[in-house]
Amino acid sequence: MNKSMLIAHIAVCFWIMAVGSVFAESQEGNQEPAELKKLRDSYKRQVEQTVNPIRSQYITQLERLKKTYTSQDNLKDAIAVQTELEKLRDGSDKADISVSGNIRIKARIDGSDKLILKDNKLWFRHVNCDRPKDISIDGKKWNPAWNGNESRHCETLFQPLSKATVKVKKLKGRGSVAIAEYPTDENEKTLVIAIDDKENGADEYEFVVSW
């Protein structure tokens, strides 16, 4: 290799190293600061805690008003109230603050269990075979104490506005994960999710509850 070729080769090596360094710095720069994420999470929690009870109360009041108009045979005003309810429930109420959330649950299930969410709390109700094991909530391990077939509670941000907003999506597990009871005024906004593993032995389950 002559001198000019050697110099060119060295220049190319330096150029590659420089580009790699810039790319690495760019990748690092794309990562959000931990404090920013912490502040955003805190903000979302405060918004959810503030707005959800207000909206829930508003929906309850609208339901009562609709019943009043209906009992008075005032169908025109009852329809107007129903339209307002539908706007709230399908998210087309542009003036309102949209809040939503989700919880990711992992557990080793053997038999049948129910996951219950109510009043910002979550717990398991064991039905048959072995109790849930290796539980984690949003990536954090949870080893609850048990009182008979009921586990102790875990704090969550679950505050659904109506049953139409609640969904469950199974990500892993050979059995079924389905909503057995939607949150309503009659059941004091309680969500019940049934997990049913009918095969022999236990299996790993993972699912997301969103609202």
At a CB cut-off of 8 Å and minimum separation 6, what does 15 contact? none
Say what percent of the chain tops pLDDT 70: 74
pLDDT one-digit tens code per residue, 47-85? 666 676 777 778 888 888 888 988 898 888 888 888 888
Write down the pLDDT at residue 61.
86
pLDDT(30) > 80: no
The CA distance from 69 to 75, in Å, is 7
pLDDT one-digit tens code per residue, 171-191? 999 999 999 999 888 888 899
Mean pLDDT, range 2-11, rounded to an integer = 52
pTM: 0.54
CA dihedral sign, ordered 118, 123, 128, 133? positive
Residue 5: band (very low, low, confident or very high) from pLDDT cuts 50, 70, 90: low
Compute the mean pLDDT over every residue in the chain, rounded to the nearest whole number: 80
pLDDT(97) > 50: no
